[in-house]
Structure 1
Amino acid sequence: MKSKYFSFVNIIKVRFLKVLFPVFLGSLLFSCETIIDEIDPSKFPGLEQKLVMASFICPQDTVLRVFLSKSLPIYSEIPKYEPVKVLGSSGDSMLYYRNIIYVKNALVEISDGVTKGTFTMNPTNYEYELRGYKIVPGKTYTLKATVENFKVEATATVPKEVPEIENLKITQFTTFNQGFRADTVNGFKMTFDWKDLPNQENYYKLFAEYSNYQKYPKEFAAVTNHIGIIKNYSSFFWNKSELNDEEDLISDNLVDGKTIYSPTGQGYEGFSTYCNNNGCFKSEILKNMPQLFDIQLWNISKEMYLYMKSVRQSSGASDNPFSEPVPVFTNVKNGLGCFAAYNKRVIVMENKF
């Protein structure tokens, strides 16, 4: 009798679940349908197209440059990709495809309150350029751009001083790298420090570059417009460990007036290879021609620091569908982008290795 009772109960449970499951599934599907609503784009505030302006000025620059574009609001039509030829650092012409909305015929002006300069557009790189306008450390500049019904402006103050680069150390190493077609390559590690400017908020950026001259063999003519002697550049990357992202942006928060130590910068001598049916061919580094290190410490404005930080954070989250959106910093009134300033300390030295 006991076993029959339990069998009867089990039968009821099974039948109950058979009835309950479709009801539960239906409610789940119904819920999914009701939580997705299409909202009229007109209900979103601030979706209008805006003018994008970007420029970074420095007392050491001989040419000032301003980049202008237009934003792409949500639900707007994405422009078609257009081929553009760009001259690379090696002298080669490279073909890129862009879908950026470049702005032509804009009035772009810069002023320190006394002296004004007007930019002209360079049709080759689509940037607005100004030559002969001197940027003075400590001064505040206003940049304005006007085109069609857009009118934007922003201000930036140039840092007065830059600390001295001290205790610069460069060491050489050799590594095996599959990226160089299973060949060895010489690299350099670099560190230095500087004394923070006291009693003020400071932001710094590190930059270093190694350059040499290389001879490209005639076989390279199959893949490049230039053969013979070419100047080669290699930028340094700044990391405290191989797992960290680029750490070239530094704040003096908690270290005001103290010595700041750079992370280790790493760069490579670099060479080019080309392989065909006849074998592999490698560029030759010319040891009798200049091989230079260009080491720079930038004192950057807060706007430049915040903008670069936010751009990197936003780019790093772009491939993660679960990451929260990161707003990109802007100080452009009535528009988007950034106008900022920096001052720099430069050391150029020969490669003694």
Structure 2
Amino acid sequence: MKYLFKNQLWALALIALLFSCEPRGNERPRGKYDSGILLMNEGAFGANDGEVFHYDPSSGTLSQNIFELENGRPFAGLLEDLVLEEDRLYLVANTGKVEIVNPGTFKSIGAVVGDLDQPRSVATSREKLFISDYGPYDASYNTPDSFVAVVSGELGGTVKKKIEVSNKPEDLYVFGKYVFVAGSEEGKIEIIDADTETVTKTLEVTGTPVQFFEQRGDLWLYSYDSQKVYFQSINPTNLTKKELRQFSVANATSRITFGEDDRIYLLTSSGWPNYNDGIAVLSLFDSTLIPSWKTGSGFYGIGFDKDRKEIYVANAKGFQGNGEVVVYRKDGSVVKTLEVGRGPSGFLVR
């Protein structure tokens, strides 16, 4: 799940909570989905039955198919990402659409449909929506026409421009007027100027880059190959690379989450035919490296609840029916097992 914690916004919210005596009239009332954990079920290819479940850890209540429940229609797509931007939640389907909902009520407030192929993630800058998209497959199942789509409004609409980028763009990160794009197949960071809607700079990186994140005030990019994982720090002000750190973790995947004490949890998988999966734990700032914190088969997504210090591991069960989510304590003991939808793959902790 490609969700960036916006420190400044949360700091302002905390100050308002601590020092205000009167509720402000323009504050959005808290909805029933503004707390708890959103569980993203990718869905099965061909069935396009991706959906979102909501889990309340305090009560143990699991609400199913909340998009359909709140909008009276199925989501009807394969869910790739959930991205929270202030008072908008973007549901990205790699089957060619982006739905936008109110994050508290899950009621639809907009959409981008048409002129998208395989969208992967979204970000907003300059009141525009930027969508990374693999583009269509060619006859050899390559994606030579990958792009970042530009939509004029943050609440969706039509695609007004496609910015050509390297093959298979993944995560996006915004700093000022710049939109950073993780170009996974060709090992690049492409930097788009949101004002001119053009690529202004390209940085070569090691491994397959898939996700940006912030830790200890720095911007980092996570990438991997068959034998190692890589973390490249970036200076977003002058658009340059800083420090590269690498760890010997074999068979890493793109699935990653961030725990307390700067711990990073990531999924590994040997792939077909054995699917020997695991969870590695490491830190960028000390000597922590646990290559096999947990092992199993069918691991497909991972998340971390910092309030309860619990790790959520999604298991797709080979897409043979519905999957499950196992909740672990940091010591590896099981808290709970949840029966979820098809292809559970990500979490958004509210």
Per the shorter chain, which TM-score range?
A: under 0.3
Per residue, is there more helix in 1 or in 2? 1
**Greater strand share, 1 or 2?**
2
> What is the TM-score of this pair, normalised by structure 2?
0.24
Whichever of the two has the greater Rg, that structure is 1
Relative contact order, CA 8 A, sep 6+: which one is greater?
Answer: 1
